[in-house]
Amino acid sequence: MAQRRVGFTVTVGLNPRLLMFAFEEKSNDLYVFLRSGLFDRKVNTKSITGNINTQKFSVHPTKNNPELNVIKQYLNAGDERTSVIMTKAIKNGSKFAYLFTWRTSDLSDRHYDMRKCDFIQNIGSFDPSKQTLFIGLLVGAPNHRFRLGWDDNVSAHQMRFRNYRLVILHSVLNFPSSPTGHFIHRKTVDPTTLEGNAANDMKKAIDGHTDIDCLNIFKSEGEILVRRYRELIYSVNN
């Protein structure tokens, strides 16, 4: 049976919009459901728009491994996809697993309408006619607090569960939101199949990221999403 459902919201005008909700089962599995709605992506040189019907992450205790936790992502956007993140961050207790960076849409889609939750954490507000919201999601050990330090462009919001801690990084940039959003997802690849820096980066990702690593990932992937958004606008207008 599910424990309390925690909703994470942002305020648009006077209305709360539901970004995601999370709950931890008695089995110690943590589930995070994203309210993803419309998305855009480039296929070859064409921009296409689709609808994400279901997107969830599940963090598993992986009791048969003393070092690793398995994190699964399930995505249904017309076709079903599953990917896996392997991380040592939770059990070593001092780092975080970085799950994704998200440029949200203008959140007008019905997917973001409020649903019943036992507890609501609001992360702030923004004006989609002038601004775009960016979200990063991390998971770590329950007693390991994320320390942002001083950064006037990024905020961090944390929620402690029995066996995990979720951290939401968020930032608002000053350009109008699109009706569609865009994600950069992470997945684990066997480092022995990679070479050079790619192999080292994958090993580091499996070991987990420090607070400053996570902040730098959020900013660098945010820049990638901004660039892709500009490419999308250019392709639509030309």
For residue 60, what is the enclosing H or E element? strand 54-60
Length of the chain: 238
Question: Which helix (DSSP H) or strand (DSSP E) does residue 138 occupy?
Answer: strand 132-140
Out of 10-24, 94-108, 185-199, least confident range: 185-199
Structure confidence at residue 149 as a pLDDT band (50, 70, 90):
confident
Q: What is the pTM of this model?
A: 0.90
69-73 long-range Cβ contacts below 8 angstroms, 24+ apart: 69/97, 71/97, 71/99, 71/139, 73/99, 73/185, 73/187
Mean pLDDT for the chain overall: 89
Residues 107/36, Cβ–Cβ less than 8 Å: no
Average pLDDT over residues 106-112: 89
How far, in Å, CA of 165 to CA of 160, rounded?
5
Residue 211 has pLDDT above 90, yes or no: yes
Beta-strand relationship, 54-60 and 69-76: antiparallel
Q: Tens digits of per-residue pLDDT, 10-62?
A: 999 989 999 999 999 999 999 999 986 656 554 444 444 567 777 899 999 99
In this prediction, residue 181 carries a pLDDT of 86
Predicted confidence (pLDDT) at residue 67 exceeds the cutoff of 50: yes
Domain ranges of the chain: 6-237
- Is 237 a residue whose pLDDT tops 90? no
Average pLDDT value for residue range 62-71: 95
Higher pLDDT: 89 or 196? It is: 89
pLDDT of residue 46: 45
Mean pLDDT (whole number) for 187-214:
92
Q: Tell me how far apart the alpha carbons of residues 37 and 128 are, in angstroms, rounded to a whole number.
A: 16
